[in-house]
Structure 1
Amino acid sequence: MKKILLVVTNTSKYPNLERATGLWLGEAVHFAAEIEKAGYEIDYVSPKGGYTPLDPHSLQPDQMTELDWEYYTNTNFLNKLSNTLPADSINPNDYAAIYYAGGHGVMWDFAEDENLQNIASAIYANGGVVSAVCHGVVALLNIKNDDGELLIKDTKVTGFTNTEEIAVGLDKVVPFLAEDELVRKGANYVKGDDWSVFTVTDNRIVTGQNPASGGAVAEDVIKLLKSL
C-alpha cells in the first residue's frame, strides 16, 4: 500500500505582523487520524524540511478537541512535525495521495513552491489523489497537469472563504484571499456556511473549506483511493 504525504508549513511568523503563525494543528490531526485508521502510513513534508511551527491560536482550549490533545501529547507525532522531510527529497511514486494542511503560514510558502507543485503533478499523473484543506488549498493554485494546464481550471474546489478571513480579522494581512485567487485561476469555487464542515471532490481533487473539514477531507480521500 502506497503512503500518504501530509504537507505542512515552515512559516512561523506573519511577515507583516507581530504575531506567530504556522500549522493549524487540527487540520493535520483530524486528517491523520482518519488516514491512519484506514491503514495508511503518513510521511510529513514541508517546503524546506525540519521543524513546522504550530499556530498558537490553534492550541487555544476552544479549538482543541480530545483527539487534538491525544496527538499533541504524543511524542512520536510531535517528533514527526519537528523533523519533516524537505520537499526536494520526495519521490512522488511512493505516494497514493498528497494533502496540504493549512494555517495562515502556508500563505507565504505553499503557492510558489515548485517542488510541492511537481510532487502533486506527478502523484496526480500516476492516478493518485490531490487534496487540501482551508488555507492549504493555495498549494493548488499553480499545479499543472500533463497538458500544461492548471490542475484546478474548470474544477470544483472549496477553501477558506473571504467572509471567514474577514471574521478572523486577517483579510488585510494575508498576501491574497484564497477564495478570490482560486476563482482567478479558473477554478469553479463553491462553499458551504462559514465554519461548517464542507468538502468537494472533483476529478481526484478533494478540498475542504476550513479547519473543521480536515477529517471529512480524509474520509473523501479514502473513498476515492478505494475506488481507483
Structure 2
Amino acid sequence: MQKKKILVVLTNTTQFQVKPEATGLWLGEATEFVSDMQQAGFAVDYVSPQGGYVPLDPRSLKYADAQAMAMYQDPEFQRRALTASLAPDQVHAEDYTAIYYTGGHGVMFDFPDSQALQDISRTIYRQGGYLTSVCHGIAGLLNLQDDNGQYIIAGKRITGFTTTEEILSSKRRMVPFLNEHVAKDHGAIFQKVRAFKSYAVTDGRVITGQNPWSPHAVANALLDAIGN
C-alpha cells in the first residue's frame, strides 16, 4: 500500500512590515524535516498561501549545513518549493497524512488568517491526519478551529518560538504578535525548554517544535506517531 504524502507549508512574505528588512522561509526548517520524511519513504508536496515564489530568510543561509545547502541547490527543490509552490486550490487535502507548517518570520504575516490553509488542515485532521509545525510555523495552527468553532490547540500541549527567543533574536517589535501569548489566549498549554534548544511536543495528532533546532525532532515524533 502506497504511503500518503506530507504537505509542507511555506511563506510568500518577503519582508517585515515595520521596516523593509528581508524575511521569508527559514531554509533548514524545510530541508531537515523533508529529508527525514523522504528517507522514511514519504513523498512531499509544497504549498504556500498564494502559491508560486517562496523567499528565503537570508539569515537562515548562515546556519544552513551541508544537507540543507545540497537540497537548496537541487533543481527539483528549487522548482517545487521555492519557485512554483502549489496554491491551496491546487491541493487535494485527502491525499495527505500530515501537514507541516515551516517557520521563518515571514509566516507570521501570511499563515494565521489563511482560510484556504485552514480548510486543508481541518480536512487532514478530520480524516485522522496530523497537524505539525516548527518554530514560527505554529502561527498556522493558532487560529485553526474545528467543525464546532473551537480552537484545535485548546487544551493541547504545544510549543513554538518563544517570547524569550523573539527578544533574543531582536525581533520582538518586528512581529505582529507573539506566538506564545496567542497560544495561551486560545487555550493551549504552551511548553518550552531553554532558548534555542531542540524540543518537540506531541499531544494526540498535534506535533509541534520550538525553534530552528527542532525540525528533526518534529519529524521523528511524526514518524513515531504514524508508526513508521
Shift of 1:214: 0.7
DSSP-derived class of the 2:138 partner: helix
Question: In structure 2, what is the equivalent of residue 26 of structure 1?
Answer: 28
DSSP-derived class of the 2:132 partner: strand
Task: State the TM-score, normalizing by the size of structure 2.
Answer: 0.96
Pairing 1:84-163 to 2, within 5 Å after superposition: 84-163=85-164
The 8 Å contact of residues 17 and 174 in structure 2, kept in 1 or not, is answered as no
The 8 Å contact of residues 13 and 23 in structure 2, kept in 1 or not, is answered as yes
User: Is residue 169 of structure 2 the alignment partner of residue 168 of structure 1?
Assistant: yes
Question: In structure 2, what is the equivalent of residue 51 of structure 1?
Answer: 53
State the alpha-carbon separation in 2 of the partners of residues 188 and 87 from structure 1: 29
Whichever residue aligns with residue 3 of structure 1, its letter is K
Shift of 1:89: 2.1
State the alpha-carbon separation in 1 of the partners of residues 144 and 91 from structure 2: 16
Which residues of structure 2 form unaligned runs of 5+? none
- Which string of whole-angstrom CA distances, capped at 9 and with x for unpartnered residues, describes residues 160-188 of structure 1? 01010000111011000111111111100
State the alpha-carbon separation in 1 of the partners of residues 45 and 138 from structure 2: 19
The 8 Å contact of residues 23 and 104 in structure 1, kept in 2 or not, is answered as yes
Task: State the TM-score, normalizing by the size of structure 1.
Answer: 0.96
Whichever residue aligns with residue 33 of structure 1, its letter is S
The 8 Å contact of residues 112 and 142 in structure 2, kept in 1 or not, is answered as yes
State the alpha-carbon separation in 2 of the partners of residues 88 and 143 from structure 1: 18
State the alpha-carbon separation in 1 of the partners of residues 69 and 98 from structure 2: 26
Which residues of structure 1 form unaligned runs of 5+? none
DSSP-derived class of the 1:6 partner: strand
State the alpha-carbon separation in 1 of the partners of residues 34 and 199 from structure 2: 18
Shift of 1:218: 0.8
Whichever residue aligns with residue 92 of structure 2, its letter is N
Shift of 1:136: 0.3
Question: In structure 2, what is the equivalent of residue 69 of structure 1?
Answer: 69
- Segments ≥4 residues shifted beyond 4 Å: none
Which stretch of structure 1 is more off in the superposition, 47-56 or 65-74? 65-74
The 8 Å contact of residues 10 and 105 in structure 1, kept in 2 or not, is answered as yes
Shift of 1:148: 2.4
Question: In structure 2, what is the equivalent of residue 206 of structure 1?
Answer: 207
Which stretch of structure 1 is more off in the superposition, 67-76 or 44-53? 67-76
Shift of 1:72: 1.5
Whichever residue aligns with residue 192 of structure 1, its letter is V
The 8 Å contact of residues 128 and 225 in structure 1, kept in 2 or not, is answered as no
The 8 Å contact of residues 51 and 83 in structure 1, kept in 2 or not, is answered as yes
Question: In structure 2, what is the equivalent of residue 9 of structure 1?
Answer: 11
State the alpha-carbon separation in 2 of the partners of residues 116 and 148 from structure 1: 16
State the alpha-carbon separation in 1 of the partners of residues 17 and 147 from structure 2: 34
